[in-house]
Amino acid sequence: LIHLLSIEGLPKAVIEHILDTASTFVSVSDRDVKKVPLLRGKSVFNLFFENSTRTRTTFEIAAKRLSADVLNLDIARSSTAKGETLLDTVANLSAMHADMFVVRHSESGAPYLIAQHCAPHVHVVNAGDGRHSHPTQGLLDMYTIRHYKRDFTQLSVAIVGDILHSRVARSDIHALSTLGVPDIRAVGPKTLVPGDLREMGVRVCHDLEEGIRGCDVVIMLRLQNERMSGALLPSSGEYFQRYGLTEERLQLAKPDAIVMHPGPINRGVEIDSAVADGPHSVILPQVSFGIAVRMAVMAILAGNEA
């Protein structure tokens, strides 16, 4: 593996290798991740052209725990604002001896463009591109599901919300399918669930209660207002009434169901606070697992896995 640009097409063995490697970075406690010298002397450049809290920060923590030097380019204050192109920016950062670029961009395909033009020794990790892919989120979601549920081949997983604009949904569906999950459901309004998911073996459902009935895992997604035109955008009150996950509705899932969300959550829009902060929620453990999973990805790309 030279770059990690998408989960689509990653063989099952590679996904399992990343998850297994991540587990070597998580010690007995969920919150205690070991510091190791695997990326000593390497420079990791975080290039976030779109906002982020979890992904950017956990990549930085992960790189530091691998002993890399980390540089966060402040895009708002960079010469991008003076008209410098993406490829010129990357060429100049490469001249500063970058070994790895972690790239988030609102345009689908931007990390691919960088991967095609950077020096052969440089690795590119997609940290979310447009609505296309968010592979490390997909991997940390699989890590979380495996941690709580163990066996993918017996699971019912519902992904609920704005699936149309969600790179997380796309990455999760590819990974769940590769790992052998037999029942994947996409639940949401007709305008926000692409019909072609059926061709990927996904059950499409427009009724929340039917969609989460008997599920082991419920993955909630926020409305991606920034990617929607007015016509598509439901009002948040109306949306919560039809698709908001409440404690009462969650009772339709299995008694030991877990509730996931990639964040940021919009309380009272797609999820009630009582569920987000409740006993079924694994939303914050997802964030913690993200550190170990991103350590694994960077260590494997650099050829230095544990």
> Binding site for L-aspartate: residue ranges?
82, 167, 222
- Nearest-approach distance from CB 91 to ligand CP, in angstroms: 26
CB of 123 to ligand CP, least distance (A): 20
Q: CA-CA distance, 155 to 136, in Å (whole number)?
A: 21
Helix axes 135-149, 283-301, angle to 10 degrees: 120
Indicate the residue among 50 and 305 with the shorter CB distance to ligand CP.
50
For ligand CP, the closer CB: 135 or 263: 263
- Please give the Cα distance from 215 to 60 (Å, whole number): 34
Tell me how far, at minimum, the Cβ of 49 lies from ligand CP, in Å: 12
The contact set with ligand CP (CB under 6 A) reads 52-55, 128, 137, 262-264
Q: How far is the CB of 263 from ligand CP (least distance, A)?
A: 5
Q: Which is nearer to ligand CP, 53 or 241 (CB)?
A: 53
Q: Which amino acid is at 273?
A: S
Q: How far is the CB of 61 from ligand CP (least distance, A)?
A: 13
Q: How far is Cα 300 from Cα 3, in angstroms, rounded to an integer? A: 10
Give the per-residue SS3 of 233-283.
CCCHHHHHHHHCECHHHHCCCCCCCEEECCCCCCECCCECHHHHCCCCECH
Q: At residue 258, what is the residue type?
A: I
Residue with smaller CB distance to ligand CP, 55 or 89: 55
Query: For 42, which DSSP code?
Result: -
Nearer to ligand CP, 38 or 103 (CB): 103
Helix, strand, coil in percent for the chain, rounding step 5 = 45, 15, 40
Alpha carbon distance 133, 105 (integer Å): 11
